[in-house]
Structure 1
Amino acid sequence: MADINSRIDSGIDLRGRSDSGRLDIGAPASTSRALLTISVDPTASRPVVSLAGELDIATAPAVKTVCFETFESRPRPYVVVDLAGLYFCDCAGLNAFVLIHNWARAGGGWIRLCRTDRRLQKMLDITGLAAALRCYPTAVDAFADVE
């Protein structure tokens, strides 16, 4: 069962619990005990959502929730997702990014990714999502065309 701390400013930490209730912080990707840490600086004028850990079917809903809440708290729906700490992403993670992208575009905004690793970039290229989910070396680069 996932343990979700709902405060964005302190980050959201998804941790699987063993049968004894003990936190399994380093659970392997092959188990259902995934770990994802999501953090957002709520005071930033240009929000960056940082992900660390595994983005999969168990953790993707929390990423969508945090991104939607971040969009709604801003006058313009621009958000960069920093993936430097992400070491696993499956199709559920890609689907979350597509849903967030479509939602942002409908509101006149965008989601951009930064600091993707080689594997994730290859997945985006193979699936044809690289054109829609634009990737940048840094968050500063991703926000370069925003006033």
Structure 2
Amino acid sequence: MTDNQETGRSDRLSVEHASVGDIRVVILRGEIDHDVKDALSEALLSRNDDQRHRIVADLSGVTFLDSSGINVFVQVHQRVSAGEGWLRLAAAQESVARVVQLVGLDAVLSCHSTVEQALTA
């Protein structure tokens, strides 16, 4: 199952949702910054009515990530972990992966080279 969601700033971030079993894959494209942080949070959390969120964020189409996006990922991680769920990051481009590593987000969240690895970890 796949569906699309455009943020209020479609030129900056677009979101698609897919399901693989009981895991939701959120496919992100564009820039993640202060202007789209609320849309990112909503995209990661709003589509799952189940208390146990299992989410893979596909970052392969993300070209920019700032501290606002990092904060959203940490907040979502904390929220879903409290409900015995998880958030995994996958397929980040080199520039985005570097930011994730520099701020230590990869020590907090499970980060994977591919979506397939994130789904099976």
Q: TM-score, normalised by structure 1?
A: 0.72
**Which 5+ residue runs of structure 1 have no aligned equivalent?**
1-8, 17-23, 26-34
Work out the CA distance in 2 between the residues paired with 1:125 and 1:85: 18
| Offset from partner CA, 1:41-76 (integer Å, 9 cap, x none) | 2x5422100000111111111111121123x33363
Q: Write out aligned runs for 1:17-56 (5 A).
A: 25=11, 35-41=12-18, 43-45=19-21, 46-56=23-33
State the percentage of identical aligned residues: 28
Give the total of aligned pairs: 119
- Aligned-pair distance for 1:134? 1.8
Whether 2:67 is the aligned partner of 1:91: answer: yes
For 2:113 and 2:99, the matched residues in 1 are separated by 17
Q: What RMSD, in angstroms, separates the aligned Cα atoms of the two structures? A: 1.9
| Unpaired stretches in structure 2, ≥5 consecutive residues | none
1:79 alignment counterpart: 55
Please identify which structure carries the higher strand content.
2
Alignment of structure 1 residues 11-22 onto 2, 5 Å: 11-14=4-7, 16=9
1:32 corresponds in structure 2 to none
> Which has more helix, going by share of residues?
2
Higher RCO (CA 8 Å, separation ≥ 6 residues)? 2
